[in-house]
Structure 1
Amino acid sequence: MQYGGGFHWKVIMLDKLIIELDKGLRTVFAEAHSQRPFPDQTIPEAPLSATEKRHAASLMRINHVGEVCAQALYNGQALTARNPQTMAALQEASREETEHLAWCEKRIRELGGRKSLLNPLWYGGSFALGALAGALGDKWNLGFLAETERQVGRHLQSHLQTLPEQDAKSRAVVTQMQEDEAKHAETAVAQGGAELPPTIKSAMQAASKVMTSTTYYL
């Protein structure tokens, strides 16, 4: 029996969705690993008060959730991207975000904290948003990637200003993450990413504020 192109396309999409489901489960529930050395591996642990540890752990939990959302966004965008170059850029960013996940997870454990209880929710919503961005076309897909990375970079900078001064380990992790995010944004712009409308940027900022304020506690 021969099947039409429509059936073949449905099978391909089903395979892709199963792969993406597996990626999502791994991101949310499995331990992440880093190919690069951990940015803080040569830095000794500084003495922190209980309050400072709780604060630093909460900030690193927010950073971890940011990476969970980034993974979901990029996986969703790659699923609906049309251009192989765009897909490659998204997949490369996703690989580095996996390393960020590993760095944040390790630092959260060291500080006696825990990951967000709402990670499955953050992942699902971000994946859907990424798939929508990818479906709008590659220039908007890349533009969304660039703006996401810019906002994450500003967010990380604010954490560098509020982390305990003596917490050099957390600072080293956040600094390297910030450098990576800036590189991702530059790559997206260089490949033709469009500037997003101000209303979209504002909506992204509002959603980010809800996520960060909630994740600090949950």
Structure 2
Amino acid sequence: MSLLDPLILQLDQALRTLFVPAPTKRPMPGETLPEPELTEPERRHAAALMRIDHVGEVCAQALYAGQAFTAASSAVREALKRAAWEETEHLNWTERRIEELGGRKSLLNPLWYAGAWAIGAIAGKLGDPVSLGFVAETERQVEAHLEGHLRQLPAADQRSQRIVDQMKADEIAHAQMAISLGAAELPIFAKGAMKLAAKVMTTTAYWI
């Protein structure tokens, strides 16, 4: 392989994440349930929440890719790649649900991907324990964020709720994976910075 080959592969993965429908092995949770009768404000709100969740999965793909790119050990690199594959199912589910609700994906997805990839690559450079600690903390924060969306979604929208509920279960499993591989506990200031960045992303993605 030439020195450019790894970068070309990274670009290919980015383009696939952003512009190609993601694959899924599992059926979309709740797809057998009837489409609920929602008011127009409820439908717009549900679509916006699912757009946020889709952005989160775009960022997850980028983070895992960046971390795997700079990971020190092959075992950690492969674990990150496996987690990324599982996250592609979330991309599939959220994108399909957005379409069902008549919404659209975030216009800023390329920006979200680029920023998240850079953060992941930096985390990977800090060493596998720190990188895995970043995964564990990210997944804990995402779990809390998804729990909040379960409370905010319209009560009648069981289809969206089933998707979010399964995503939450998968994020918990990914956090446990990182811990089992030796994740370090991140300092308080790092956790706070991650929460602030997530707040900016979620607030922006609700509208754009």
TM range (shorter): over 0.9
Which aligned pairs between 1:159-174 and structure 2 lie closer than 5 A?
Answer: 159-174=149-164
2:171 aligned with 1:208: no
Measured after TM superposition, the shift of residue 40 of structure 1 is 1.5
* Secondary structure, aligned partner of 1:46: coil
Q: Which residue of 2 aligns with 1:81?
A: 71
**2: distance between equivalents of 1:150 and 1:93?**
15
Measured after TM superposition, the shift of residue 129 of structure 1 is 0.5
**1: distance between equivalents of 2:23 and 2:162?**
18
2:168 aligned with 1:197: no
Unpaired runs of 5+ in structure 2?
Answer: none
Measured after TM superposition, the shift of residue 96 of structure 1 is 1.0
TM-score w.r.t. the length of structure 2 is 0.98
Measured after TM superposition, the shift of residue 42 of structure 1 is 1.6
Provide, for residues 88-145 of structure 1, a one-character-per-residue CA deviation record: whole Å limited to 9, x for no partner: 2111110011100000000000000000000000000000000000011000011011
For residue 117 of structure 2, what is the amino acid of its counterpart? F
Provide, for residues 10-35 of structure 1, a one-character-per-residue CA deviation record: whole Å limited to 9, x for no partner: x24x2111001000011111111211
Task: Give the % identical residues.
Answer: 58
Q: Which residue of 2 aligns with 1:5?
A: none
Give RMSD over aligned pairs: 0.9
**1: distance between equivalents of 2:100 and 2:138?**
28
Q: Which residue of 1 aligns with 2:173?
A: 183
Provide, for residues 175-194 of structure 1, a one-character-per-residue CA deviation record: whole Å limited to 9, x for no partner: 00000000000010011000
* Secondary structure, aligned partner of 1:152: helix
Measured after TM superposition, the shift of residue 215 of structure 1 is 0.4
Measured after TM superposition, the shift of residue 36 of structure 1 is 0.9
**1: distance between equivalents of 2:51 and 2:136?**
23
Aligned residues: 208
Q: Which residue of 2 aligns with 1:141?
A: 131
**1: distance between equivalents of 2:52 and 2:64?**
18
For residue 61 of structure 1, what is the amino acid of its counterpart? R
For residue 26 of structure 2, what is the amino acid of its counterpart? R
Larger Rg: 1
Q: Which residue of 2 aligns with 1:4?
A: none
Q: Which residue of 2 aligns with 1:105?
A: 95
2:107 aligned with 1:117: yes
Provide, for residues 60-105 of structure 1, a one-character-per-residue CA deviation record: whole Å limited to 9, x for no partner: 0000000000000000000000112211211111001110000000
**1: distance between equivalents of 2:73 and 2:185?**
18
Unpaired runs of 5+ in structure 1?
Answer: 1-7
